[in-house]
Amino acid sequence: MEICPLRQSLLDCDGHALVIGGPGSGKTTIALKKATSRISSGMEDWQSVLFLSFSRAAVARVGEAIRQQVQREHRAKLSMQTFHSFFWSLISTHGYLLGAPKKIKILLPSDEKVYYGSIKKKDRNDDNSDWVDWLKRRNDLFIQEGKIAFDLFAENALALIDKSSHIRELVSQKYPLIIVDEAQDTGPEAWK
């Protein structure tokens, strides 16, 4: 890949950056160059560059690019995770700070269906009080029993990051560079 002045400005950037481009334009390649540049500039043994993506398929695609483009000695400093796995690591470790029990379990969609049964999801034009009651009950399940549904991961991880400067510092120290791949697939809580 040619490092033009625009790509070099991304490599030199010390703050937040947003890279926009179509498929095959080199977004992942330049992100990997940014990551290896950061690793080469020096990191502690316990630090790594975090690649976040929405899907496991995208994480696998980045993993393949890493095997092809990143020197072996830098690979251990790259952590590839889906948003959900990253959120789970925060919630399972620190969820008690939100009032949940210390032991937290994932409420699988099939188990969630057992709880809400035949209640239909709330339609925008329909006031479905049963569904609203279920959503409240689902939050109660997290606080009272430590059972959390997948679609509550983002908002609870965000609550932890918002409420705890200590957690923000831990994350930013552990991951001095965070790269988000496929950002367009994220929801509002994941984006925050």
Binding-site residue numbers for ATP are 21-28
Buried b (16+ CB within 10 A) or exposed e, 131-170: beebeeebeebbeeebbbbeebbbebbbbbbeebeebeee
Alpha-carbon distance of 139 to 105, in angstroms, equals 13
Alpha-carbon distance of 47 to 175, in angstroms, equals 6
**Crossing angle of helices 5-12 and 27-40, rounded to 10°:** 40
Residue 146 region by backbone torsions, left for phi larger than 0, else alpha for psi between -120 and 50, else beta: left
Residue 55 · residue 19 · CB < 8 Å: no
List, as residue ranges, the binding site.
21-28
Residues facing 113 on adjacent strands: none
